[in-house]
Amino acid sequence: MGNRVLAVLHGRRVDGTLDLDLPKDITRSVPPSSRDAALEWLRENYPLDEDAAILARIEREEYEEQQKLIRRAEELGLYKPQSGTFGAERGEANDPYGKSVLKEIRERNEARLLAEQERKRKEWLENENKEREQVLRQVQQNTALQKFDDSAALEVRERADPAQRPLLAWIQKHHLQATEWNMEAAEKLSKADRLLPSLALTLLVLGLSYAFAANYEAPARAERMWPDMPPAAATAFAIMGANLAIFLLWKFPPAWRMLNRYFINVAFKPHPLSIVGNVFSHQQFKHLAMNMLMLWFIGTKLHDDIGRGNFLGLYMAAGAFGSMMSLTAHVLMGQLMITSLGASGAISGIVAAWCLLHSQERFTIFFLPHEWQEFISAKGWVLLTGFVAFEILNVVSPLRVVKLDHFAHLGGYLIGAVWALTWKGEQEKKRQKNRTWFDRFLSE
């Protein structure tokens, strides 16, 4: 038993496996103290590097594990002998570096992806006919579509081949996603279904605008974001920035789906939030520039007269009410395919308020010669009357002079006029109150 203990321990030293459990016959017969004494005797009489033996054991086990994995991969057909190994296959054109398994996998994946891409391309091109049939069926079933003047808008465009014109195909796909509606559900909407949700939001906006104007307190100069900029200019630049951001989003096709839902008024399937969103939305630079110029030249002057709280309250109220008036008119007249967007309603409210607050002042074109300005001028109330008459004329005339959202303009003029008259009345009451107090003070 002594010789067996010495043989097993020395074998474990050579193999680097001293950490493993000893055989059961040794552990049962030989106490631990005797085993430790035997190990000390071996280390003294037969010295060797036990640490090196342990490292060799680790390398040996890793190699054996690797060989097991290779044999398993060979059984599954995932591994082939590489160059430098006996029996290795040569690569393409008798390449001595051998065949690459990774290259084969990559080629299979590329072929699969190309096949999937080709399937989607054919499906995209074939769906053009299905779309054309669907539009034709909708026109036959919907009288509003049959009365729509712009027939070109209902035509199905020829789809671009993604392989030949990838950019145009990408744009067309986002356009279809943006205009994809549940047509059957939208056709069943009644006039009340189309108007009441938006009307509720419009009333909410009017109430919030009034509350904001009544409770707004201008921050101290040190607390403002741009303390060195006049408040009117800061307000105008903030509104311009919001409008410019939405304008740029219209140039980015992935945003069209969101913009069509929340930033344009669609009578056929209106979304309540678009009543507010479309006030900040423009698709054409000329439209954006005209509204922002009016905001700068007239809005900043009105802002100086009434303050930021009243200005923003009036701007949002006029914009929302103008959008609601436009939506109501188009729904009631059955013009469901007409869409509208832009800050014109809000700008109209600003113009109306400015004209009535300065109703007795004369306005002229500033770049005309001085001697002409006396003749080419009009009082504020006359100017506003002319604007309103122009909008009404275009509404009732069978031949529209200018294609604009006249109902939105009229709604904005109405809110601006009501606000200005209310403001002037309140200011007159304050003056009367102050005059009465002053007269009482003098009498006392």
Q: Which residues, listed in sequence order, are joined to residue 265 by a DSSP beta bridge? A: 340
| Token couple for 43 | 């280390």
93 sits in the region (left: phi over 0; alpha: psi -120 to 50; else beta) called left
| Token couple for 382 | 């006359």
Name residues whose C-beta falls within 8 Å of residue 343's C-beta, 6 or more positions apart in sequence.
239, 243, 279, 280, 282, 291, 292, 295, 319
CA distances from 440 to 429, 431, 434, 437 (A): 16, 14, 10, 5
Task: Tell whether pTM > 0.85.
Answer: no
Q: Which residues, listed in sequence order, are joined to residue 362 by a DSSP beta bridge? A: 379
Report the alpha-carbon distance of residue 4 to residue 15 in Å, rounded: 16
Tens of pLDDT along the chain (444 residues) come to 999 999 999 998 998 888 888 899 888 889 999 999 999 999 999 998 988 988 898 888 888 888 887 777 666 666 555 554 555 666 666 666 666 777 888 888 999 999 998 888 888 777 776 666 665 665 555 554 444 444 444 455 677 777 788 888 888 788 877 777 666 667 778 889 899 999 999 999 999 999 999 999 988 888 888 888 999 999 999 999 999 999 999 999 999 989 999 999 988 888 999 999 999 999 999 999 999 999 999 999 999 999 999 999 999 999 999 999 999 999 998 888 888 999 999 999 999 999 999 888 776 655 555 655 565 667 778 888 888 998 888 888 766 656 788 999 999 999 999 999 998 888 888 877 776 655 565 566
Q: Are strands 362-364 and 377-379 parallel, antiparallel or unpaired?
A: antiparallel
Report the alpha-carbon distance of residue 165 to residue 355 in Å, rounded: 53
pLDDT at 414: 95
Report the alpha-carbon distance of residue 416 to residue 356 in Å, rounded: 9
Question: Phi, psi at residue 362, to the nearest 5°?
Answer: -95, 135
pLDDT at 127: 74
pLDDT at 149: 47
155 sits in the region (left: phi over 0; alpha: psi -120 to 50; else beta) called beta
Report the alpha-carbon distance of residue 375 to residue 248 in Å, rounded: 42
Contact 381, 355 (CB under 8 A): yes
What SS3 state is found at 367? coil
CA distances from 160 to 46, 113, 179, 383 (A): 85, 21, 18, 51
pLDDT at 369: 59
Question: Phi, psi at residue 377, to the nearest 5°?
Answer: -155, 165
Residue that has been written with the tokens 């423009």 in this structure: 282
Helices (H), 336-405: 344-357, 370-373, 380-396
Report the alpha-carbon distance of residue 184 to residue 98 in Å, rounded: 62
Report the alpha-carbon distance of residue 390 to residue 406 in Å, rounded: 9
| Token couple for 344 | 């014109």
